[in-house]
Amino acid sequence: MAKQRVLTGITTSGTPHLGNYAGAIRPAVAASLRADVESFYFLADYHALVKVQDPARVQRSTLEIAASWLAAGLDPSRVWFYRQSDIPEIPELTWLLTCVAGKGLLNRAHAYKAAVDRNQAEGQDPDAGINAGLFMYPVLMAADILMFGAHQVPVGRDQVQHIEMARDFAARFNHLFGEHFVLPSAAIDEHVATLPGLDGRKMSKSYDNTIPLFAPSKQLRALILSIVTDSRAPGEAKSTEGSALFQLYQAFATGEQTEAMRRAFAEGIAWGEAKQALVELIEGQVAPMRDKYESLMARPDEIEDVLREGAVKARRIATPFLATLRQAVGLRDLRQGAAPAKPAGKTAARRQPSFKQYREPDGRFSFKLLDAEGGLLLQGVGHDSAREAGQRIARLKASAGEGLSEGGQGVEFEGAVLGQLPPGATLDSLRDALAALAEAEA
């Protein structure tokens, strides 16, 4: 079996913080060492432009994020590590997907909808101050994912809708133009920590409560000492429940260290002492990476080289794949024999009979054959697996309608019951539909 492909993007709009490290960088670097996956990590700088219009910040963030991933141990020779804007095939694929993306679906994207709702709450025009990049964001993200045939996309919960949209665009494209895209799934790791910030809310740039991953050690210490706690005095038992300090400790500690800290809380450790322990724990893990980070930041030309090599490697996949997609949609070399045009306004795929596969309530895998107008021609029997049902359909398509007969329990094919004709349908209409389908696909 082909290796599973795992892909994720990091928007280059800020400075990496401890939350990004524990939630994304650390698990990704660990996953990249597995032999059974192919990992794709990229700097989503086109996405950054949607919200950042400060060029120096986009550049600086790109450098900082690349340096952070490398300092954290990502080995660019084991993975695909590249900058989105170095892959011109991505915006080109974005357009192809734009033309199959339902506008209504994009209207319902959470980030866009939240911006519209805010405007409406303030009595403004619904689209006031909203750039079209925000609206198109899910399509660009789908292009990132579909370009490389990613199976799994590790993301936070807030991004799950985007992966579902990518599946939707991919399925529509496949339906219209052939099976080109892998349908991706969101991978949400329940064990991966979402870290609280200095004030106890989720650590996030938008709350201004972050601890930068590579803050100099004095600043790291000062920030940790400023974490909000309650007013329990030394000697008073403290609750680990809802304690930002404890959660941060846990995200960097071994199981044993965590249990020891849990006991210390129960025994009334002073907040100052607990903070000191957290400083030491984090500093111990960050300091060696910080040295590497600083030396990388001092040599931007090396990072630039790494990213350019990454782009060459990524384009070895992207360039030929996009050529196939251009061919599929009809952006073609005119010297190739052109098929006669289909009647205007009626795409071939929609006008053909089609198979629909689905799962029955009892868990069996079934299918239907619909005519060009969506009317039922055949209700298939259940199968044990989607694969079996799929293979049966494939053989049925290949038959072009030959070898069907009517038996006591319905339509038979290859000596077994295939399904039932709905009232009013005939075996001949079924044969005709299968013949038409075979001809269209030839």
Residues that bind ligand TRP (CB under 6 A): 7-9, 11, 44, 47, 141, 144-145, 153, 155, 159
For the CB of residue 44, give the shortest distance to ligand TRP in the complex, in Å: 4
Nearer to ligand TRP, 155 or 278 (CB): 155
Please name which of 179, 131, 135, 189 lies closest in space to residue 8, comparing C-alpha atoms.
Answer: 189
Give the amino acid at 201.
Answer: R
Q: Which residue is nearest to ligand TRP (CB)?
A: 9
Q: How many CB atoms lie within 10 A of CB 164?
A: 14
For the CB of residue 155, give the shortest distance to ligand TRP in the complex, in Å: 5
Please name which of 337, 327, 426, 438 lies closest in space to residue 393, comparing C-alpha atoms.
Answer: 438
For the CB of residue 175, give the shortest distance to ligand TRP in the complex, in Å: 23
47 contacts 62 by C-beta, under 8 angstroms: no
Sorted by sequence, the CB contacts under 8 Å of residue 194 that are 6+ apart come out as 19, 23, 156, 202, 203
Nearer to ligand TRP, 9 or 380 (CB): 9
Nearer to ligand TRP, 208 or 241 (CB): 208
For residue 359, the surrounding DSSP H or E stretch is strand 354-359
Nearer to ligand TRP, 11 or 32 (CB): 11
Distance CA 258, CA 244 (A): 14
For the CB of residue 60, give the shortest distance to ligand TRP in the complex, in Å: 18
For the CB of residue 110, give the shortest distance to ligand TRP in the complex, in Å: 11
Q: How many CB atoms lie within 10 A of CB 55?
A: 9
Nearer to ligand TRP, 141 or 227 (CB): 141
For the CB of residue 315, give the shortest distance to ligand TRP in the complex, in Å: 17
Q: What are the structure tokens assigned to 52, written together? A: 């950042």
Nearer to ligand TRP, 19 or 380 (CB): 19
DSSP code of residue 242:
T
For the CB of residue 7, give the shortest distance to ligand TRP in the complex, in Å: 6
For residue 369, the surrounding DSSP H or E stretch is strand 365-370
Nearer to ligand TRP, 145 or 224 (CB): 145
Q: Which DSSP string do the residues of 132-143 spell out, in sequence order? A: HHHHHHHHHHHH
